[in-house]
Amino acid sequence: MIYLKSLEEIELIRKSCLLVSKTLAHVASILKPGVTGKYIDQQAETFIRDHKGAIPGFKDYNGFPSTLCISANEAVVHGIPTEQEFTDTDILSIDCGVYWNSFYGDSAFTFAFPNVGDEVIDLLHATNDSLYLGIEKVKPEARIGDVSNAIQSYIEKEKKYSIVRELVGHGIGRNLHESPEVPNYGRKGFGSKMKKGLVIAIEPMVNMGKKNVRQSKDGWTIVTKDGKPSAHFEHTVAVVEGGVDILSDHTIVEKEVKNNSEIKTFTRKS
Ligand code: MG
Ligand code: MG
């Protein structure tokens, strides 16, 4: 069942998404080689709870233990923050969710420490660019497959990277995961028709090597089978009259990335 949202409900989702974005921006401001996932996670949780009534959206969701999913290098998504210190060659895909005023917000960004190589930085650019190529296809009467196909075509045909098949984007609202599924691969003109009021999280997960993934022993973290790096960017967006409204905000995250000399400056090309 697809729940279409009223404009009032979309504003509440935007509020949750903006808190997610501010949390990711806060994370961007404290990242440096040597910090641990646990430290970042605690900072994020405090930041969210400082907003009255807001709670971390992922913590205890299906038993997930933390506020953030922090997935380093070959980890694709659902990484659990640990006491291990990050090094200056790591990339971190950080996914954050907030539940506030009965609605969820969901967004993710991949960060790079200063000595990450150019090849991996290109993977980050490509993944981020594919997110916006997908978002461009969102409008009333278009199909979910149009979004999926835009992402897949760019990543697999043009960039020769791989799209993860097992994990997909999703509708979002009063529940973290609602219908429809939003795969990052698919055919133009297929899938659910997007209607005004639909709110979806679009989240390409892109592997530098092969598309295959496996679950690691901790029971959560999804990693690439070939051990090569993977990147993840996510926005929550609403279908509105005439097009799309991006409810989460990466510009404030990118600004903090730029201001923090301990991480590699990484901003959108397109
Ligand atoms: Mg997410
Ligand atoms: Mg999501």
Distance 234 CA to ligand 2 centre (A): 7
Is residue 92 predicted with pLDDT exceeding 70? yes
Distance 78 CA to ligand 1 centre (A): 9
Is residue 267 predicted with pLDDT exceeding 90? no
- Could you give the 3-state DSSP secondary structure of residue 9? helix
Residues composing the chain? 270
Is residue 268 predicted with pLDDT exceeding 90? no
Distance 93 CA to ligand 2 centre (A): 13
Distance 109 CA to ligand 1 centre (A): 9
Distance 75 CA to ligand 1 centre (A): 14
User: Who's near 180: CB < 8 A, 6+ residues apart?
Assistant: 2, 144, 170, 171, 191, 192, 200
Distance 166 CA to ligand 1 centre (A): 15
Distance 138 CA to ligand 1 centre (A): 18
**pLDDT for res 197:** 98
Is residue 105 predicted with pLDDT exceeding 90? yes
**pLDDT for res 29:** 98
| Structural domains present in the chain | 7-259 (3.90.230.10)
Is residue 107 predicted with pLDDT exceeding 90? yes
Distance 224 CA to ligand 1 centre (A): 18
Q: Stretch 219-245: mean pLDDT, rounded?
A: 98
Q: What percent of the chain has pLDDT over 90?
A: 98
Q: Stretch 76-83: mean pLDDT, rounded?
A: 98
Nearest CA-CA partner of 209 in 91, 123, 144, 147 = 123
Do 36 and 86 contact (CB within 8 A), yes or no? yes
Is residue 270 predicted with pLDDT exceeding 60? no
Confidence band for 182, pLDDT divided at 50, 70 and 90: very high
Predicted confidence (pLDDT) per residue in 126-170, tens digit: 999 999 999 999 999 999 999 999 999 999 999 999 999 999 999
Nearest CA-CA partner of 152 in 66, 211, 194, 93 = 211
Distance 141 CA to ligand 2 centre (A): 23
